[in-house]
Chain A
Amino acid sequence: MSETSDSAILIAQIKDKLGIGDDKVYAVMGEFAEPEDLVEAGRRIRAMGYTKIDAMSPFPVHGIDEAIGVPYSKIGWIAVCGALAGITTAQVLIYYVGKIDYPLIIGGKPLFDFTYSIPPTFELAVLFTAITTFLCTWGLSGLPRLYHPSMNYRSAHRASDDRFLLIVEADDPKFDAQKTAQDMRSVGANDVEVVEG
């Protein structure tokens, strides 16, 4: 008896932490049949003053980032940092081990030289960049997550098939469930729904 109430409390706590719950509104969502319509509608919704806009599509739609105001990804700069970390680690490691900690002449070569330190440096730069980029992509995308409120939308599964979804999230300062739903219909969205978390 007490077990069920414990787990119910736990689920409630988790839901609260993730910002979801039966009573919470996540967003207004609508769907389009054509990618061009999605881009056009996104542009118009943005022109109405909404800022928390998102889109879902089965394949990359050109121009959608610009239309709904998604900023240019920071992942490039993160990759540069990963590469620099890799280069530094490799150079310091090779220098310290070969020249300071355990100097040993091998094949008549200098204790440290850029010529032979470049290949491991390159490899380490690639490795560090790959790991950093991978982890940061997950982090920036909010992964891993087992649940996303947009899945409550009736046609959510069609975003991986034949529909293009437009979303205006509830934390948008201009958001008002009734008004936003009306706006979404006015830009041509079908099956507009107020989706709850």
Chain B
Amino acid sequence: MSNSSHGSHQGAAAEPASYQLESARWSKGRNALVLAALISIVACIAGYIQDPDRFFRSYLIAFCYTCAIGLAAFFFVMVQFLSGSAWSVTMRRIMENIMITLPVGAILFLPLAFGLNHIYSWTNTTLINSSEVLRAKSGYLTDKFFIARTYGYFLLWSVWIFAIYRQSVKADSQRSIWQMRIASRWSAPGLFLVVAIGTLAAYDWLMTVEPSWYSTIFGLYYLADGAVGFFAVMILICLGFRKAGVLEKQINIEHYHDLGKWLFAMTCFYTYMGFSQFLLIWYANLPDETQFYRHRMPGAWLYISLSLPFIRFFIPFFTLISRPAKRNLTILGVMSVWSLVVVYLDFYWVVMPVFYPNGPQLHWLDLATLGATLSVTGLVFWSRFRKHAMVPTGDLRLEQSLHFENA
């Protein structure tokens, strides 16, 4: 636990600078992921045959959850290029490998494209025409336009992601500052792309589940959820590598401390978004907007709604606020698992009340669909470690990052 910084200096210097994952280890990880993917995909197909409605509902949550994490990774990789941050360099390749799973979302979206009518009530034209509000949206909410928009989002993101990733791995061999410069030039408009397009994506995928409801902050709410999930995933991946004895000196307690700060900060940011949305809707008290919360009050949904401030804010906030807590890997690991669970619960709470107005109904497909999307993106993530070093060895700030200490 108390991996002192002095030990890490000498260790890093003594180690060969290849930073390549051993192929035996890599194959072991790949096999586990392939097995998980096969089992969950078979389960998903079985579930689809048994109950297609339920499959698509669960799958929508799993899809949005997975993409949110990828989007946040995309955002924070670009932030690092723009700010020239040194502390995170040893972990940047792991973040980039999460980032590059986002284009997989285009494939993961395919099942949804064929099942829109199972999820979105706006696919029903008689329902659309029955309401003045929905009629006004009918030009925007059509099957073809919806699918085209989603593929447009993924196309734009992918162009940026591949461009930045390419520069980053090129820097491994080139060892020049130019790759960093080019990557940061892509990053500035890229940040805009994540927030602006991400907002539209959140509106499309999640908000139109209730087609007559709208909230302008919902995009940031979605991205904030993704950011919490992303840092939780990062901590868990690093802890997993640490347990296997990989990169344990390169990603030391100082780096975990900073990841913990980010997890803490994003938890606060999520709360800010969630509360702002609630406050404005509560204060304006317009039926079009309040229906969202009204639909989350019957039955057990009320308990989830009331518990969100505690499980999403108070518990992680007070657990992670102190410095010793963020430097304790056990606490950090537990809070990361906690964050991932509550982020999923939050997506569940956004989507499911529309379909199950009287209370949540758990289903094994929730788990199977999540397993499918996470293991498929996980495979893409893992495959990158075969091709490239685990650390951006050509980054000029790598040495600084290895010796980094929190003041």
* One of A8-16, A91-99, A114-122, A126-134 contacting the partner: A114-122
Q: Which of B18-33 contact A (CB under 8 A)?
A: none
- Contact of B279 with A118 in the complex, beta carbons under 8 Å: yes
- Contact of B285 with A108 in the complex, beta carbons under 8 Å: yes
Query: How many of chain A's residues have a CB under 8 angstroms from any CB in B?
Result: 10
- Contact of B279 with A119 in the complex, beta carbons under 8 Å: yes
Does chain A have a CB within 8 A of B1?
no
Does chain B have a CB within 8 A of A145?
no
Chain A interface, >50% SS class: loop
- Contact of A115 with B407 in the complex, beta carbons under 8 Å: no
Chain A residues near B282 (CB-CB < 8 A): 115-116
- Contact of A116 with B279 in the complex, beta carbons under 8 Å: yes
Minimum C-beta distance from A62 to chain B (A): 5
Give Cα A108–Cα B282 distance, bound, in whole angstroms. Answer: 11
Give Cα A115–Cα B276 distance, bound, in whole angstroms. Answer: 10
Give Cα A115–Cα B279 distance, bound, in whole angstroms. Answer: 6
Does chain A have a CB within 8 A of B364?
no
Give Cα A60–Cα B275 distance, bound, in whole angstroms. Answer: 38
Give Cα A108–Cα B290 distance, bound, in whole angstroms. Answer: 15
Chain A residues near B285 (CB-CB < 8 A): 107-108
Query: How many of chain B's residues have a CB under 8 angstroms from any CB in A?
Result: 8
For A63, give the chain B residue with the smallest CB separation: B405
Chain B residues near A119 (CB-CB < 8 A): 279
Give Cα A101–Cα B275 distance, bound, in whole angstroms. Answer: 28
For A109, give the chain B residue with the smallest CB separation: B283
- Contact of A62 with B405 in the complex, beta carbons under 8 Å: yes
Chain B residues near A116 (CB-CB < 8 A): 279, 282-283
Chain B residues near A115 (CB-CB < 8 A): 278-279, 282-283
Give Cα A80–Cα B405 distance, bound, in whole angstroms. Answer: 25
Minimum C-beta distance from A64 to chain B (A): 10
**B407 interface neighbour in A62, A107, A109, Cβ under 8 Å:** A62
Q: Which of A50-88 contact B (CB under 8 A)?
A: 60, 62-63
Give Cα A108–Cα B405 distance, bound, in whole angstroms. Answer: 54
Chain A residues near B407 (CB-CB < 8 A): 60, 62
Give Cα A109–Cα B405 distance, bound, in whole angstroms. Answer: 50
Q: Please encode chain B, from 206 to 230, with 1 for each CB lying within 8 Å of some chain A CB and 0 for all others.
A: 0000000000000000000000000
Give Cα A107–Cα B286 distance, bound, in whole angstroms. Answer: 12
Give Cα A29–Cα B275 distance, bound, in whole angstroms. Answer: 55
Chain B residues near A60 (CB-CB < 8 A): 407
Chain B residues near A108 (CB-CB < 8 A): 285
Give Cα A63–Cα B254 distance, bound, in whole angstroms. Answer: 13
Minimum C-beta distance from B308 to chain A (A): 14
Give Cα A164–Cα B275 distance, bound, in whole angstroms. Answer: 48
Give Cα A115–Cα B275 distance, bound, in whole angstroms. Answer: 9
Give Cα A170–Cα B178 distance, bound, in whole angstroms. Answer: 54
Minimum C-beta distance from A72 to chain B (A): 8
Q: Please encode chain B, from 273 to 292, with 1 for each CB lying within 8 Å of some chain A CB and 0 for all others.
A: 00100110011010000000
A107-B283, A115-B282, A116-B283 are known contacts; what are 15 more A-B pairs with Cβ within 8 Å? A60-B407, A62-B405, A62-B407, A63-B405, A107-B285, A108-B285, A109-B283, A115-B278, A115-B279, A115-B283, A116-B279, A116-B282, A118-B275, A118-B279, A119-B279
Query: Which 4 residue pairs spanning A and B have beta carbons closest together?
Result: A62-B405, A115-B282, A60-B407, A115-B279
Residues of B within 8 A of A (CB): 275, 278-279, 282-283, 285, 405, 407
Query: Could you list some 15 contacts between A and B, CB below 8 A?
Result: A60-B407, A62-B405, A62-B407, A63-B405, A107-B283, A107-B285, A108-B285, A115-B278, A115-B282, A115-B283, A116-B279, A116-B282, A118-B275, A118-B279, A119-B279
